[in-house]
């Protein structure tokens, strides 16, 4: 639930969705996963109380600091202005692309494993 961690987690989620769930449940799982990621991430960015379990382990000062710095970077989030908010909104807009990338990778992996499976004989 940070701008550095979410993209690889979304890709991994997409791969899992494609390879673990039956086809009829995949779109629903994608929607639920996207809703969870975006909902928690926006709540963190807006500093909704009670979400310390997400940001405290990373040594962040609050949810926005965690979303932007992920315990790694040193951007001053206390002075976040419209440019920071606009950049954050643009990053949120990429979240569905990472999920789609993961699902595409997952579908290719599934296709390869089907073709690579030896037939009993």
Counted domains in the chain:
1
Q: Quote the domain boundaries for residue 30.
A: 6-116
Burial (CB count <10 Å: 0-12, 13-18, 19+), residue 40: middle
Confidence of residue 87 (pLDDT cuts 50, 70, 90): very high
Report the alpha-carbon distance of residue 33 to residue 65 in Å, rounded: 23
Dihedral of alpha carbons 93, 94, 95, 97, sign = positive
pLDDT in tens, 41-85: 999 999 999 999 999 999 999 999 999 998 888 888 888 899 999
State CA 15 to chain mean position distance: 12
- Residue 1 forms part of a structural domain: no
**pLDDT at site 93:** 96
Asked if 103 contacts 15 with a C-beta cutoff of 8 angstroms, the reply is: yes
Does any domain span residue 121? no
d(CA 79, CA 18): 41
Contact 106, 17 (CB under 8 A): yes
Instruction: Tell me, yes or no, whether 86 lies in a domain.
Output: yes
What's the pLDDT score for residue 77?
86
């Amino acid at each position: 639930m940070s701008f550095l961690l979410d993209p690889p987690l979304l890709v991994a989620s997409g791969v899992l969705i494609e390879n673990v769930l039956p086809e009829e449940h995949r779109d629903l799982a994608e929607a639920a996963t996207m809703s969870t990621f975006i909902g928690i991430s926006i709540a963190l960015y807006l500093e909704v109380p009670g979400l310390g379990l997400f940001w405290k382990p990373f040594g962040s000062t609050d949810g926005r600091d965690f979303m932007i710095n992920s315990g790694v970077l040193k951007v001053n989030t206390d002075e976040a202005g419209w440019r920071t908010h606009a950049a954050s909104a643009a990053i949120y807009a990429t979240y569905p692309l990472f999920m789609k990338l993961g699902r595409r990778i997952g579908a290719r992996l599934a296709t390869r494993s089907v073709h690579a499976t030896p037939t009993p004989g």
